[in-house]
Amino acid sequence: MDELIPAAWQAKVPAISLAHLSPPQRESLPAVFGSFLDAAGTAMGRATFYNTQEEQEQALDVLHSELFAVDRGIYAAALLLPGLTDYTRQLGAVRLLANRRTDGSVLSPQQEMMVLEYLINHLPPQRMFKTFELLREGRVNNARTRRLILRKILADKRLEQWAVKYRRKAARALEHAWGKRTASIVCSILAKDPAVRNDQEKHILARQISRHLDHEEALDRVGECVAFVFGCEDKLTLGRLKAYREAKTKLERGKNLPYEVLEGIRSQFHPDRTSAEVLELTKGQLTKAQKMAMQRKAIEAKVKVVFDPSRYDPVRLYVYAFEMGMTKAISKQLQIKAGESARQLPVHFGHVGILLDSSGSMLGHETQKLRPISVALAMRDMLSCAGDKATVVNTSGQPAPAFQLIEPSGETLLAPGLLELLHGQPEVVFVLTDGYENTPAGRFGEVVRTVREIGIETPIYQVTPVFAAEAQGLRVLSDAVLTMPLNKPEALCLGLLKAMFALDVQRAIGGLLGVTLPLVGISVKELMKSEEKP
């Protein structure tokens, strides 16, 4: 296990004091942290093949609460780890903001705020606004929350685009941060000509808007966007805002608007026009995700939307290939990306064995259809490139070579495939599965115990892309194998860090902080200096 820990985490790091933790807390940390990683690297906030969304949310709340209760600083640092889902980071940011700090944390209040700002800044806009919505619903409105919301929305260069694309969400977030009364006052002032605003009104705008901006001269632009999200469409000067208003009378004026915005205007004000016309007008405004998601619609509408496979991660490419078919261009990019990911791993194998779960449950739930099998296929490809030789079999023991689609079907029969792989004497075996063995249940674990008894010590690792609510983590096939969470190939580091916590908690925390905190501009040495202060 130790040889699979990344070199960056093996490097000598200053010891982090855990004196503020009780002995039971220190003893529970490996298990608590491991369970949190299982969830953090797989949970999407949606139903799975076996669990409802409500079951997922309840189990996640327990796991987040347990690590947070041990040390909110360790919890905050863990949210920075590569490979965590956006949903995990969203829930983490809300928890940190909603709970008042008490004594005892490896991070100071200022350092924790740096983590929060990083988390919010690196969430996709839709996730960011969803986070603000959760804060509003939970009535979390402390000073940190207000400053974070106002700074992020008002100072961002994308505010004009957000104003038209997330108009209602932005309005609710700003109203939550300011309060209804202040929001109303600000809007009333912004509706006035700047030349006639009195000193008191200028002071209000300076306090509520300007102090959150990098440049005071941006007030006019930001003020127009703020007034717009609250419903004012008079005297507009900014391009997208004017396009929004003018598209209501002439659809072509909205060609620089996001597709979904112009489509909404079309359905309300131009019912005689078609969605295909909207797609043709706005194809230059489509996001990377939309260009992929709307390929079928574009083909049906005979609109050419350029789709570049090199811009997408392997999991998305596999989901797309299942729906639209595998092409030479996609296959080429899968090979390139698998090779790149494999070269970033801290280890290289001589002969790697890969057991691919191709059972029906790997299709996933309709809310994230094909994602489990797509993650597994992308992981199969990367691991195949991480060794001089790779042997890949599926649940029935049949070959499942890299860069090929495997259609999930049938029950989960893992034991024969494991025996087939071990017969070839690989250096290591990775089992890519959702963990739900049913033909029969427990047979995989029996095989592992048997081969260990006869002296076969080949390392076996279970890699799982699906969070199991009833297990409050991952479904484990055998206690004799290390189980790793995974939502994309490059997230293999989560499993390796989990292994570190099982080996040496003190060293693992040093490694965690040493890898994550530099992302927000905090060095471990700086952390040690802050601990030395009385």
CATH of the domain at 395: 3.40.50
Asked whether residue 469 carries a pLDDT value surpassing 60, the answer given is yes
- Domain stops at, among 219, 245, 271: 245
Mean pLDDT of 25-33: 89
Q: How far apart are CA 351 and CA 247, in angstroms?
A: 61
* Same-domain status, 125 and 173: no
Domain boundary among 310, 335, 356: 310
Same structural domain for residues 129 and 175?
no
In this model, does residue 534 exceed pLDDT 70?
no
Give kind and range of the element (H or E) at residue 501.
helix 493-503
Task: State which amino acid sits at residue 188.
Answer: S
Q: Region 318-332: what's the mean pLDDT? A: 94
pLDDT of 185 > 70? The answer is yes
Q: How far is CA 370 from the centre of its chain?
A: 17
266, 290: one domain? yes
Give the orientation angle of helix 493-503 with respect to helix 23-40, to 10 degrees. Answer: 160
Q: Is residue 147 part of a domain?
A: no
Residue 304 lies in a domain: yes
Instruction: Classify residue 425 as left (phi > 0), alpha (psi -120 to 50) or beta.
Output: left
419, 283: one domain:
no
212 pLDDT above the threshold of 90:
yes
Cα 532 vs. chain centroid, distance in angstroms? 35
Q: Is the per-residue pLDDT at 4 higher than 50?
A: no
* CA neighbor of 94 nearest in space, from 147, 139, 151: 139
Strand 387-394: give its sheet, edge to edge: 387-394, 349-356, 428-432, 460-464, 482-485
Q: Which two tokens stand for residue 54?
A: 């409500």
Q: Which residue type is seen at 286?
A: L
Q: What is the pLDDT of residues 48-74, one digit of tens each?
A: 777 888 888 888 889 999 999 999 999
Residue 29 confidence (pLDDT) above 80: yes
Question: What letter represents residue 139's amino acid?
Answer: R
Mean pLDDT computed over 316-341: 94
Q: What is the residue type of 375?
A: V
Picking from 147, 179, 150, 153, the residue whose alpha carbon sits closest to that of residue 165 is: 153
For residue 43, what pLDDT is reported?
Answer: 79
Displacement of CA 411 from its chain's centroid (Å):
30
Same domain? 228 vs 259? no
Is residue 5 situated within a structural domain? Answer: no
Same domain, 328 and 472: yes
Q: At what angle do helices 23-40 and 505-516 cross, to 10 degrees?
A: 50
SS3 of 354, please? strand
Domain end marker among 245, 261, 296: 245
Say if residue 131 is in the same domain as residue 180. Answer: no
What is the domain range of residue 125? Answer: 23-141+505-524
Contact predicate 362/434, CB 8 Å: yes
**Element housing 356 (H / E):** strand 349-356
Q: For residue 497, is it within any domain?
A: no
Query: Which of 242-246, 309-313, 494-498 shows the highest mean pLDDT?
Result: 242-246
* The predicted structure's pLDDT at residue 71: 92
Share of the chain above pLDDT 90, in %: 57
Mean pLDDT of the residues in the chain: 88
Residues 475 and 337 grouped into a single domain: yes
Res 472 pLDDT > 90: no
Q: Which of 6-20, 29-43, 198-212 has the highest mean pLDDT?
A: 198-212
217 found inside a domain = yes
Dist CA 391 CA 455 (whole Å): 22
Q: What are phi and psi of 258, to 5 degrees?
A: -60, 150
Distance in angstroms (rounded) separating the CA atoms of residues 465 and 460:
17
The answer to whether the beta carbons of residues 514 and 11 sit under 8 Å apart is yes
86, 178: one domain:
no
| 431, 419 contact by CB (below 8 A) | no
Of the candidates 118, 179, 125, the one whose C-alpha atom is nearest the C-alpha of residue 157 is 125
**CA–CA separation, 241 vs 237, rounded Å?**
7
Q: What is the pLDDT of residue 198?
A: 95
Other beta carbons within 10 angstroms of residue 304's beta carbon come to: 10
- Does residue 13 surpass a pLDDT of 70? no
Residue 39 in this model has a pLDDT that exceeds 70 = yes
* 3-class SS of residue 462: strand
Same domain, 49 and 33: yes
3-state secondary structure of 102: coil
User: Taking the CB of residue 449, how many other CB atoms lie within 10 A of it?
Assistant: 12
Count of domains observed in the chain = 4
Q: Is 347 within a domain?
A: yes
CA distances from 140 to 58, 99, 257, 383 (A): 20, 9, 33, 44
Q: Please check the confidence at residue 532 and state whether its pLDDT lies above 80.
A: no
pLDDT class of 2 with cuts at 50, 70, 90: very low
397-446 confidence digits (pLDDT tens): 789 999 999 989 888 889 999 999 999 999 999 999 998 888 788 899 99
Give CA 476 to chain center in angstroms: 23
Tens of pLDDT, residue by residue over 104-162, are 788 889 999 999 999 999 999 999 999 999 999 999 999 999 999 999 999 999 999 99
Residues 71 and 118 in one domain: yes
DSSP character for 313? -
Q: What is the CA radius of gyration of the chain?
A: 26
| Cβ atoms of 408 and 360 closer than 8 Å | yes
